[in-house]
Amino acid sequence: MSSNGMIVAPQPEAVEAGALVLKKGGNAVDAAITCALVQGVVDPQMTGIAGFGSLQLYLPKTGEHYCIDFHGRSPSAVKPDMWEDLIEGETADGFGFILKGRINDVGYQAVTVPGSLKAYFEAQTRHGTMDWSDVVAPAIQWAEDGYPIRPHMLGFWTRDEGFGRAPVTDRLAFTQSGRKIYFNEDGSLKALGQILKNPDMAETLRRIARDGADVFYQGEIARRIAEDMAANGGLISLEDLKTYETTRIDPLWGEYRGYRFATNNPPGGGIMLAQMLNILENFDLGEIGHNSPDYIRIVAEAMKRATSDKDKFVGDPAFFDVPVAKLTDKAYAREIAQAIKAGEKASVDRLPQGSAKESSNTTHVAVIDQAGNAVTMTHSLGMPSGAITDGLGFMYNGCMAVFDPRPGRAGSLAPGKSRFSSLCPTIVFKGDNPHIVLGAPGGTQIAMGVLQGILNVLDFGMDMQQAVSAPRFSATSDVIDVCNRIPAYITNEVAAQGYEIRRNPLSFAFAMVHGIRIEDGGMDGGADPAGDGMALAV
């Protein structure tokens, strides 16, 4: 167990960069933002400076504890009914809508106004101890020198998700820049172990290192972004970039079996996590048994109910009155628990859809330093749009795909609005001190993965690596999806109770949970084996 500091993330290069910051005396914020910038280089479809996310900072020495919400905002040119006549269906995991021509999914209309770089810069320059240029330097070096294509990256590029979304290879090849970066001269996709260099991104990062986030939002880079959007039918204007602001907000607090936890507010997924924990507090999960048939049924029902409530009631609170107090009320949770105990089955409404597989186009970083500062951040491109402005090197987010094209709903389109996401970077406290710092990528599965990571530690006494490695399941529809390591003799008993079971071919599935556990003055970290990452103690 480490006692000086620790960092965990899905990319070894990014973890190493953050660990070196801690070794050199930087704090948790310096390390997290260094790691995040490198993640955008070495895992460029998972995240990047043109993405979105949610960041929680716990800084005990200065008495500051808050979240930065930096979800992408829909451009000012958006109209609530502009896609209503194009609906073909909804993705099986609830992570987006399928429109004719996939215009909300691939290309320039898929892009929301990015928030990631502004959040990185605000957090680091406000709370970090290092110069901004030094924080950006490792990312520049990785972009210039290159890095080997890792198994998880190649798997994401080539795996058929089966949701009705466009294949990732189509996104990579959407622009001339993408074809130059991600394909060989003969047109073949770059292969496992090949070195991927991105000199255009290195040059973009040099400008950002020199001029800060302003160059992206109102300087030369902003001008090039706006010109490219206008030339290719995109919706984002220069004014959209200039007026983008992050949101600083207190965490959403809850309590589970005597532990307090802090997570994010809507439009993030923390409200789902809080509701599920409140429901499950009414069951003796330890006595029921980890991944037993009853355990799977009970937890899946909690997942389904939180998903249904999210679909109906959770959106951008600036545009929709989210009943946070109701959804996180212990009495409401007890009512749901009683229904589950009585054997009642919830139903999750979905439009016509395809088969359900997992989307994991997001990433995470968790850091604790020697002074006890903690940072947990989930950041993403959504499903990447494929759009790359020639000469800039980075891919834009594709977050417009998750907005509901039907007017009058919690997630409907509106100018300046943020979409719901399942991102829920969370800190669990034992007394006054952090006990678990965690989060996950994984699309709509994020809250489900983080939930099971927390239960594994608090109800079953697992260390962090055990907690993130244990077999998981998910229920974001009327089907219970299970990873391939949950035995059929277990799931057959669940099926006998009238549930449809869908077996995922992956041994490690349903988000990629990464976290740090603090116990008796020491720390242990867990990197989900579904990815390529690691935890490093310093």
Q: Which of 252, 48, 231 is nearest to 139 (CA)?
A: 48
Q: 152 with 363: CB under 8 angstroms?
A: no
Omega before 251 within 30 of 0, i.e. cis: no
Tokens, residue 527: 């990197």
Tokens, residue 370: 């020697």
Measured CA to CA, the distance from residue 356 to residue 463 in angstroms comes to 30
Measured CA to CA, the distance from residue 230 to residue 398 in angstroms comes to 17
Q: Which is catalytic among the residues 91, 263, 362, 363?
A: 362
Query: How many residues are given for the chain?
Result: 538
Measured CA to CA, the distance from residue 401 to residue 399 in angstroms comes to 5
Q: Is 362 a catalytic residue?
A: yes
Give the long-range contacts of residues 87-90, CB within 8 A, separation 24 or more.
87/351, 87/405, 87/406, 88/164, 89/164, 89/351, 89/352, 89/353, 89/354, 90/350, 90/351, 90/352, 90/353
Q: How far is CA 518 from the centre of its chain?
A: 23
Please write down the HEC assignment for all residues of 22-70: HHCCCCHHHHHHHHHHHHHHHCCCCCCCCCEEEEEEEECCCCEEEEEEC
Q: 380 with 192: CB under 8 angstroms?
A: no
The secondary structure of 184-202 as a DSSP string is -TTSPBP-TT-EE--HHHH
Active site residues: 362
